[in-house]
Amino acid sequence: MLTSRFTDAIDYARIAHATQTRKGSGIPYIYHLLGVASLVIEFGGSENQAIAAVLHDVIEDCGDSHRESVRTRFGDEVAHIVEACTDGSAESKASHQDTGSKRADWVRRKLNYLDHLSKTDPVVLLVSGCDKLHNARAIAQDLEDPSVGVQVFDRFTGGRDGTLGYYHSLATIFASHKVPIARQLNVAVERMHQLAGTDERLPLQDRI
């Protein structure tokens, strides 16, 4: 059963992400956070996991100051999951200005995050997996849209090959850990490859 802690988390995220929208759209960012939380609930997650889903991007997109605030307001387990779903803070990402530096930082962060995911605990894997599933479905949807198509990859630092390699690697890790979302993520990632017009199914480290 969800309590007022969950609605408090939604309000926290609404304020923290108030000025942000999804890449390539004017959709308020909280749409993604609610979508991930919905998937966590659908796949049997706890209230703490659902709360962490709502807050999973708050450090990465809104800054380091939210680390202790999340822990104080929502507890150690939620803070642990949010931290484990974060591959860099808003401040660390903003420190890279030119295209080459941003790309190198993106590759480093994603490879480190993949290594981290391969060793982390199930409570984190469900939330992270639901995040990646929601993102993969959104990318596939844009690829199906004639007005967007493969240009969707222009929104991402990794470009087409890096993005596809990253999601291929993610799908492999979640499948190996038997995370409940693994089958659906495999379907979405396979659809991404088909719509992108590539027969290659390579992990990120083989695409950089």
Q: List every span in the chain annotated with CATH 1.10.3210.10.
A: 1-95
Per-residue pLDDT of 153-179, as tens digits, reads 999 999 999 999 999 999 999 999 999
Q: How far is residue 152 CA from its own chain's centroid?
A: 16
Q: What is the pTM of this model?
A: 0.96
For residue 12, give the nearest of 59, 76, 81 by alpha carbon: 59
User: Which residues are identified as catalytic?
Assistant: 60-61
Arch. (CATH architecture) of 1-95: Orthogonal Bundle (1.10)
pLDDT in tens, 60-117: 999 999 999 999 999 999 999 999 999 988 898 888 888 899 999 999 999 999 999 9
Residue 68, Cβ neighbours under 10 Å: how many? 10
